[in-house]
Amino acid sequence: MNIGIIGLGKMGYNLALNLKDHNHEVTAFDKDLDAVERIKGEGITGVASIEELVQNLPKPRVVWLMVPAGNITEMVIEEASKSLEAGDILIDGGNSNYKDSVRRAEQLAEKGIYFFDCGTSGGTEGARHGVCIMIGGDAEVFKSIEPFFKDIAVENGYLYSGKSGSGHFLKMVHNGIEYGMMQAIAEGFEILDKSQFDYDYEKVAKVWNNGSVIRSWLMELIENAFSKDANLSGLKGVMHSSGEGKWTVETALDLQAAAPVITMSLLMRYRSLEEDTFSGKVVAALRNEFGGHAVEKN
C-alpha cells in the first residue's frame, strides 16, 4: 500500500523504515532536506514539499504526520489540507492534545478528509521495530488503513479506540501513567541512595527485573542507564516535560478524578527545574519567625 510520511525526526524516520520493511510504498518529506536525502539512501522516495508528497500518492491518499505537537502540527495540517481532497486520510501520529484532534477532525470532515488521531508509544526503537498505537477516527474508514497499523505494531500492539480524539486521549492518559511509574521508580532509588546500605543500582534494577512484581521495560531502561553510569553522576536531576502529564492532570481535575500520583509526579518535574524556590524561603522564614528555627542563608 502507498503512504506519505511528513516529518523525518527520530520517530518519523524510523516509522518510514518500518513501513518500508513491510513492503509499503513510502513517500517522505521533511523541511530538513538533509533528512530527505538520507531517507532516499534507504530506498524511500523523498520529496521536497508537502504538495509534491500529496501529488505523488494514489487516491485516496494516506498521509501520516509525525511532527511536534502544537503549532507545527497545526501549520502542517493546514498546508496538507490545501492539497488533500475529499476521501483522503490524514493521520496525526504525534502527541497532540486530544481537544485539538477533535477540532481538527471536525474541520477536515468539512472538506471530506478523514482524520485519525493516533497515539504512538514505544520510543524510537518501537517506531523502528514494533510500535504501540492507539487510534481514534471513523470506524469504517479505519478498516482501510488497518493493515498499516497491523504491520508496524508489535503483536496486539494497536487499538482502534473509538471516535475522533479517543486515540490522543488514551495516549495522554498513558503518558500520565508513565509519569507516575517513572516517579515511583525514581523515589525508590532515592531512598536506597540515602540509606546506610551500599547498593549497586544496576544489580538492584537487574534483580528487580527478574521475577519481581515491579519488573518492567522502565526498570530495564534504568538498569541499562546504570550500566553506563553507576550513580548517574553525569546527569542533572532536571526533568523536562512536553505537556502530556499536564494535560492528564488538567483533565483529571475537570473530571474530578482523583489522580494524586500523576499530579505529584508532574509537580516533581516542575520542582526539578528550579535550583531554589520562593515557597521554600517562605516556609524557612515562617519557621524562623515562630520558632526561631535555623535558616540557611545565601
- Exactly one of 123, 130, 157, 162 binds ligand 6PG (CB under 6 A); that residue is 123
Question: Would residue 297 show up in a list of annotated catalytic residues for this protein?
Answer: no
The DSSP 8-state label assigned to residue 216 in this structure reads -
Of 137-156, binders to ligand 6PG (CB under 6 A) are none
> Which range in 20-28, 29-37, 190-198, 241-249 contacts ligand 6PG by CB under 6 A?
241-249
Backbone angles phi, psi at 236, to 5 degrees: -95, 145
E-only strand ranges, the chain: 2-6, 25-29, 45-46, 62-65, 89-92, 114-121, 131-136, 153-162
Output 227 or 242, the one with its CB closest to ligand 6PG.
Answer: 242
Nearest-CA neighbor of 5 among 35, 27, 37, 36? 27
**Residue the block writes with cell 492507539:** 134
Smallest distance, Å, CB 218 to ligand 6PG?
Answer: 11
Contacts of 32 (CB under 8 A, 6+ apart): 8
Helix axes 10-21, 33-40, angle to 10 degrees: 20
Of 161-180, binders to ligand 6PG (CB under 6 A) are 175, 178
The answer to the question of residue 95 lying near ligand 6PG (CB under 6 A) is: yes
The answer to the question of residue 121 lying near ligand 6PG (CB under 6 A) is: yes
The answer to the question of residue 122 lying near ligand 6PG (CB under 6 A) is: yes
Smallest distance, Å, CB 243 to ligand 6PG?
Answer: 6
Task: Give residues in contact with ligand 6PG (CB under 6 A).
Answer: 95, 121-123, 175, 178, 240-242, 244-245
